[in-house]
Amino acid sequence: MSGSLSPLFTWRSAVVESDLPPTSKLVALALSLHMNERGGSCFPSQATLGRETSLHPRTVREHLAELEQAGWIERTKRAGTSDLVTAIDPGRTTRGALGQGRKDAPATPGPRPAEGVTRASEETVAIAPVSPARAPDVIWDALVAELGYPGTRNERSKRNGVVRQLREVNATPSLIAERCAEYRRRWPGIDLTDTALVNQWTLLGTVGPQVRRGVSPADVLRGGEAA
């Protein structure tokens, strides 16, 4: 795909114009919100996609599998975290929506070409960036799973700073999950944010903390738990 339109925009347009079922389109478009302009560097969790689409994570998982089977995405397994998802160029595949042939495909589409097929008309080409915008980061991914994907440039910049601070204290995905859960247990009425998590990181790791009812994280920072 060439010209002034980005590959991601072209891919989105192809999804919208396809014969995909509505729910599969919804999942695909939600995925595209996490992709860079080349259609790569995308690894939202199924929980995140479920929150963004108002679908159960199990439903999201089913439609991701259907999108992959139909040739719209390619998923790469990553140990201990969510899959890396890459968009597939719809102009270079003979597969259509959920296995149905595209207008330029044979009337009865056959199985996917085997590994090593060199005929250009049968290739499935991934829209992978030459230089990924960001290498996989388990700390970032853990924050996305707990707090969602930052939607603005300012929020992403703030998230990057939080990732650096958490790395300095040797945080791990499991610790992040545990302390997010502890924050929500202690202060159920107060939103958990990147900054709040970092500010309360040490306190959330204490054993048997004495936290008075009604004392907020801001109160703690100001010494609100003093006698």
- Residue-wise pLDDT for 110-149, tens only, equals 444 444 433 333 333 344 443 344 456 888 888 988 888 8
* Token pair for 22: 């509505």
- d(CA 44, CA 82) in angstroms, rounded, equals 7
Dihedrals φ, ψ of 75, to 5°?
-115, 135
Long-range contacts of 162-170 (CB under 8 A, 24+ apart): 162/194, 162/195, 162/197, 162/198, 163/137, 163/139, 165/198, 166/139, 166/198, 166/201, 167/139, 169/201
Tokens standing for 156?
Answer: 């992403």
Indicate the pTM of the whole model: 0.40
Strand, coil or helix: 11: helix
Segment 49-90, tens digit of pLDDT: 999 999 998 999 999 988 988 888 988 887 777 778 888 866
DSSP alpha helix (H) spans, 54-129:
57-69
Structure-block tokens of residue 107: 């009337």
Which of the listed CATH numbers 1.10.132.20, 1.10.10.10, 1.10.1040.10, 1.10.287.3510 matches domain 7-122? Answer: 1.10.10.10
- What does the pLDDT look like over 7-28, one tens digit per residue? 888 888 888 888 889 999 999 9
Domains of the chain, residue spans: 7-122, 138-221
Structure tokens at 91: 């102009």
